Amino acid sequence: MDQYGICISQNSDIWNNKVDRLDELAVLVAVVDHGSLVAAARRLRRSPPAVTRALATLESRVGARLVERTTRRLSPTDAGRALAEESRALLDAYDGAISAPSPTPVRGLLRVTAPVLFGRRHVAPIVTAFLDLFPDIRVELVLHDRNLDLIEEGLDVAVRIGPLSDSSLLMRRVGEVRRIVVASPGYLGRRGTPTRPAELSTHDTIFGTNTQGSLEWRFGSRGRALVVRLAPRLLVNEVDAQLVAARAGRGIARVLSYQVVDDLATGALVRVLQEYEPPPLPVQLVAASRVHMPPKVRAFMDHAADQLKGLEVIRAGVRAFQAQPIRRKPV
C-alpha cells in the first residue's frame, strides 16, 4: 500500500513538473506576441509578478537571456524568438492532442474575416482548398479593412494584421509585414528621393484613409518615434487606388509590404526611407476562445496556419527588397 502511494506521488510530481514547463513556454509565447509583461498577464489571466517569475524560471532553465527588458519595452533575443516559435508549435500540438479524441465531424458554416486585399490574394485560395478537404463544410468569407468584432458579428476566425486590442482572444502568429513608403521611379526622378521623413513635407503624398486616422505618418520605434504631419495631394480609401496613383507618378504612398511585392520586384515602385521604418506588424490568426473550440474552427486554424506560414510575402516583411537608387534626369 505504501509503495503504491509513493509511486503515485512521484508520478504526480513528474506530471506537474511537465505541466509547469508547458506553462513557462506559454508565458514566453505570450510575452513575445504581446510585447509586454502586463499584456501577457492579461492574456493568460495571471498577475504580472507571476508572469515575471515564470519567465525568469524559464531563462534559468535554458541558461540564456530570452527577453531583453528595459523601462520602456521588451524585446525578444534571438534565442527567445527561436524558442517562442518552437514553443508555439509544441503548445499547438498539445492542444491538438487534447482535442483529438473528439468524434465531432468538421461540418456546418464557418465564417472567416480578413483585410480586403490580403483576403483576396491570400486567404481566398486557402478557403477554397479547405472546402476541398472537408466536403461537409460551408464558408462565408467576409473581407473588410475594419477589424470586425468576432462575437458581435458572429465570426469564427479572423486574419489580423497588427497588434490586438483584445488580449482574451486566441492568437496564432503566422508572419509579419511592414509599413513601407514607396513611389514610382518617374516621380522620384522628377522630385528627388527623400532621405529623411521630414522631407516628405515638400513632396506630394497619397494618403490611405481606410486604415489611417490623423493626417500623419509615424516612423521609428516606440522609444524614438518620429511623427510627420502631411498635407496630402490625394486621399484614397482603398489601397488598389493608392497603388494606381503611385505607379502613375502622382506622389509618395505608404502601404503594407505584402501589397507591393510585385511592384518592387518589377521596378514599378521603389522603396524609400527604409532605415526609418517602424517595427514589423504581426500577421495573426484569431479565434474567440481556445476552450471547447469547435472542430471546424480548429481544423481551419491548423490548415490556414500551415498555408500562411509558407507565404514568402509575410515571412520577413519583404526585407529582401531594398530601396533602389534613382538617377535624376538631366536638366
Same domain, 164 and 295: yes
Find the mean pLDDT for residues 178-195.
95
Q: What is the pLDDT of residues 105-139, one digit of tens each?
A: 888 999 999 999 999 999 999 999 999 999 999 99
Q: How many CB atoms lie within 10 A of CB 113?
A: 24
The number of folded domains in the chain is: 3
The Cα–Cα gap between 230 and 205 comes to 8
Instruction: Report if residue 323 sits inside a domain.
Output: no
pLDDT for residue 211 is more than 90: no
Same domain, 244 and 291: no
The Cα–Cα gap between 200 and 188 comes to 12
Instruction: Report if residue 321 sits inside a domain.
Output: no
Find the mean pLDDT for residues 238-245.
93
Helices (H) and strands (E) in the chain, counts: 11, 14
Same domain, 6 and 135: no
Q: What percent of the chain has pLDDT over 70?
A: 81
Same domain, 198 and 216: yes
Same domain, 170 and 308: yes
Residue where a domain stops, chosen among 51, 70, 99? 99
Same domain, 91 and 12: yes
In the prediction, which pLDDT does 103 show? 60
Q: What amino acid occupies position 199?
A: E
Same domain, 30 and 63: yes
Give the DSSP H/E element, type plus range, for residue 213. none
pLDDT band at 41 (very low <50, low <70, confident <90, very high): confident
Residue 174 near residue 286 (C-beta atoms within 8 A): no
Residue where a domain stops, chosen among 68, 99, 130? 99
Residue 283 near residue 172 (C-beta atoms within 8 A): no
Please give the model's pTM, rounded to 2 decimal places: 0.66
Find the mean pLDDT for residues 50-56.
87
Range picked from 47-51, 205-209, 221-225 for highest mean pLDDT: 205-209
Alpha helix segments (H runs only) across the chain: 2-34, 37-44, 48-62, 78-99, 116-118, 124-133, 150-153, 185-191, 239-247, 261-266, 295-309
Same domain, 239 and 185: yes
Find the mean pLDDT for residues 192-201.
93
In the prediction, which pLDDT does 91 show? 83
The Cα–Cα gap between 323 and 274 comes to 7
Residue 285's domain is classified under what CATH number? Answer: 3.40.190.10
Q: How many CB atoms lie within 10 A of CB 79?
A: 15
Instruction: Report if residue 310 sits inside a domain.
Output: yes
In the prediction, which pLDDT does 317 show? 47
pLDDT for residue 183 is more than 70: yes
Same domain, 130 and 58: no
pLDDT for residue 321 is more than 60: no
61 lies in which domain range?
Answer: 2-99
Find the mean pLDDT for residues 56-76.
82
Residue 34 vs residue 140, higher pLDDT: 140
pLDDT band at 71 (very low <50, low <70, confident <90, very high): low
pLDDT for residue 329 is more than 60: no
Residue 224's domain is classified under what CATH number? Answer: 3.40.190.290
Average pLDDT in the chain = 82
Same domain, 169 and 126: yes
Same domain, 76 and 147: no
Residue 15's domain is classified under what CATH number? Answer: 1.10.10.10
Q: List the one residue out of 276, 257, 241, 278 whose CA is nearest residue 320.
A: 257
Same domain, 303 and 260: no
Instruction: Report if residue 320 sits inside a domain.
Output: no
